Structure 1
Amino acid sequence: MGEIRATDVVTAACDALVAGLDSPALRISAACTEAEADYDVPDLLPPVLDELGLTLHPVGSVAGQETAARALATRMPAGELTPRELAFRIHQRFGHELPLAERLAELDDDYDVLEYGDRTPAQVDADVTAEALRLAQHRRVPTEPTRAPA
């Protein structure tokens, strides 16, 4: 969804290997140099995710957008984004078009009108934090029934 650089994917592949995950495509991804990453990662990512049993959502799909919004939301409690930065990035990326992240877009609007209202930045920060935690914990319900093992 364009939220991280290809070199970040290479770093994540290295971290995954160190953590004990392993697959042929994961090893190839981890071995990419910085110069190779931009070219090789887009082709390597689908097999890596497939080998690890993870889902690759089509670019632009609602499921992909929701996954990206949840991933961004996890970055705020981890200290990688401030509440204001999270609300801004969600609003910038999805506008008011992604129901899952609509509240964060609204809160970004709230930051823009603080001087005209009766709310403080700390109050909006608290609302963004609560919403980020809700999004980070939100799990997508499968749209197709799963079959029980035979």
Structure 2
Amino acid sequence: MRPDDVLARLQEAAVLGSVGSGTPAGVIGAACDCLVAGVDTPTLRILAGISPTPGGESDELRRWLGDALAELSLTFFPEGSRAGEDEAVRIMARRLLDRTITARALTSWAYGFITRDGTPLAAGLIDLEYAYEIVEAVVHDGQPYPDDAAAGVDADVFNRGAAADRRHSGKRLSHRRHLNDRRRRLRCSRRLRPAVLLAASGPWDSSGGLGVCRGLWQVSMVRWTMSTRGRRASTTRRWRRWAS
């Protein structure tokens, strides 16, 4: 193990622990890996020596984690901090782009650990978790549904993940891949909208499913408006080039 790799793992474990999706044992294990790789500081030794027995390790971890990260020039994020949530979203987005987690795993994670009250960086992922639920609910009810509907949502999740990850935010998809993703999303959005309206025509469930349907329909309308504006802007640019 290289020192850079184990330090990155320790940073990720600490960040995910600050939002509740990581475990104290994960942080302690990452600290032990640092010592094995030759990274050594006084507080890191204390951190690696904390007993991973469930129940009492959290208090010890809170006491020593900040100092250990500071000694290693890593960043400490307090529990529930907005900066920690932003960094956690970026970490999970990188895992998605590296294909170590699925698109649905990312949206479920954002829905469960960031929630609507968290960072706006995860808002789009939470919206797409609702989209997955709509797809599953309609299929479960036996209604006809396109086979590529889930694939269209997957493509949207990957685009959101690329935008959230700062390493990939400046990179654009290739022209052909961009067109294929756009066509697939357009096909799915055209088929998804009637299904959402059908589900919203009556009581879907007692847990607020109707509000989810309405929210997803509003998201679809916003996407349609944005695509219309984009076509208009493209037409304007072509006319300007022709006039010049």
- What is the TM-score of this pair, normalised by structure 2? 0.50
How far 1:103 sits from its partner (Å)? 1.4
Of residues 31-40 and 43-52 in structure 1, the stretch that sits farther from structure 2 once superposed is 31-40
Q: Which runs of 4+ in 1 moved over 4 A?
A: 116-119
Taking only aligned residues, the RMSD between alpha carbons, in angstroms, comes to 2.6
How far 1:65 sits from its partner (Å)? 1.6
> Quick one: distance in 2 between partners of 1:53 and 1:86?
28
Alignment check: 8 A CA contact 1:3 1:68 kept:
no
List runs of 5+ in structure 2 lacking aligned partners. Answer: 1-18, 169-244
How far 1:11 sits from its partner (Å)? 0.9
Once the two structures are superposed, residues 12-42 of structure 1 have per-residue CA deviations (whole angstroms, 9 ceiling, x without a partner) of 1122233343211112212223226334222
Q: Residues 70-89 of structure 1 correspond to what in structure 2 (within 5 A)?
A: 70-89=90-109
Larger radius of gyration: 2
Matching of residue 120 in structure 1 with residue 149 in structure 2: yes
Matching of residue 129 in structure 1 with residue 149 in structure 2: no
> Quick one: distance in 2 between partners of 1:25 and 1:133?
35
SS in 2 for 1:113: helix
> Quick one: distance in 2 between partners of 1:79 and 1:39?
34
How far 1:82 sits from its partner (Å)? 2.1
Matching of residue 101 in structure 1 with residue 122 in structure 2: yes
Report the CA distance shift for 1:50/1:80 in structure 2 as closer, same or farther (over 3 A): same
Amino acid of the residue matched to residue 125 of structure 1?
Answer: D
| Corresponding residue number in structure 2 for 1:28 | 46
Q: Among the aligned pairs, what percent are the same residue?
A: 33
| Corresponding residue number in structure 1 for 2:57 | 37
Of residues 82-91 and 13-22 in structure 1, the stretch that sits farther from structure 2 once superposed is 13-22
Alignment check: 8 A CA contact 2:90 2:164 kept:
yes
**Matched residues, number:** 139
- What is the TM-score of this pair, normalised by structure 1? 0.76
